[in-house]
Amino acid sequence: MEWKATESTWKQPEAGNWPATCIRIIDLGTQKREYQGETSYRRQSLIIWEIDGQTDDKGQPITISKAYTASLGDKANLRKDLESWRGRPFTSSELAGFDVKNLLGKACLLNLIKTQGQKGEKTVISTISALPKGMPIPPVPVNSQYIYSLDNHDQNIWDALSDGLKGWINRSRERSQPEQPMNSTPSRSTTTDDDIPF
């Protein structure tokens, strides 16, 4: 299969509540963070969703992403968002066996808001929740679905990443390590409104 690189032009999503599907999970590696004079290093991941009902000027579905510290600790933002998405807290056994690839192809409802950043107004994800009962599951995404992992490097997926994402990953501690083939990703599964997505 041939992967096509994502174009650098990107249209800001509209604010509001939108159904979306998780299409990509990108391992950003261990990133340096400076806050109030302190330096720390944290493993980070980027989750990307395809928004149903929003398209760019070429008619292609718009995507949005959110970066997380790769942690499922009690106070971790990733855990909070996942529990809101699935509609209930994780049990200890679910946390122990959680596999991030289970997010691929799963639908949710994103609450998008406008915020003022250093480069002007931008749209960000405020909250993530399960699709309300009776809301149709979004169609199979148009964009390709995959996971990029630094531990299982896949050159085809790497080539498909935007230059901005490559630069972000290249700033990680791990990027200089030898590259290995990446495992294949699962296909979209069928879910019902009553199912917990993962």
Instruction: Please indicate, yes or no, if residue 187 is contained in any of the structural domains.
Output: no
Is pLDDT of 92 > 80? Answer: yes
Torsion of CA 45, 157, 10, 22, to 10 degrees: -50
What's the mean pLDDT when you consider all of the chain? 87
Instruction: Please indicate, yes or no, if residue 181 is contained in any of the structural domains.
Output: no
Segment 159-178, tens digit of pLDDT: 999 999 999 999 999 986 55
Domain range holding 122? 16-176
Q: Are 20 and 110 in contact (CB under 8 A)?
A: yes
Instruction: Please indicate, yes or no, if residue 166 is contained in any of the structural domains.
Output: yes
Q: Are 83 and 74 in contact (CB under 8 A)?
A: no
What number is the average pLDDT over the span 136-151?
95
Instruction: Please indicate, yes or no, if residue 101 is contained in any of the structural domains.
Output: yes
Instruction: Please indicate, yes or no, if residue 2 is contained in any of the structural domains.
Output: no
Nearest to 10 by CA among 46, 53, 54, 45: 54
Instruction: Please indicate, yes or no, if residue 8 is contained in any of the structural domains.
Output: no
Instruction: Please indicate, yes or no, if residue 136 is contained in any of the structural domains.
Output: yes
Is pLDDT of 107 > 90? Answer: yes
What number is the average pLDDT over the span 19-35?
95
Q: State the pTM of this model.
A: 0.82
Counting the structural domains of the chain, the total is 1
Q: Would you state the pLDDT for residue 66?
A: 98
Confidence of residue 117 (pLDDT cuts 50, 70, 90): confident
Segment 39-59, tens digit of pLDDT: 999 999 999 999 999 999 999
Instruction: Please indicate, yes or no, if residue 183 is contained in any of the structural domains.
Output: no
Q: Would you state the pLDDT for residue 196?
A: 66
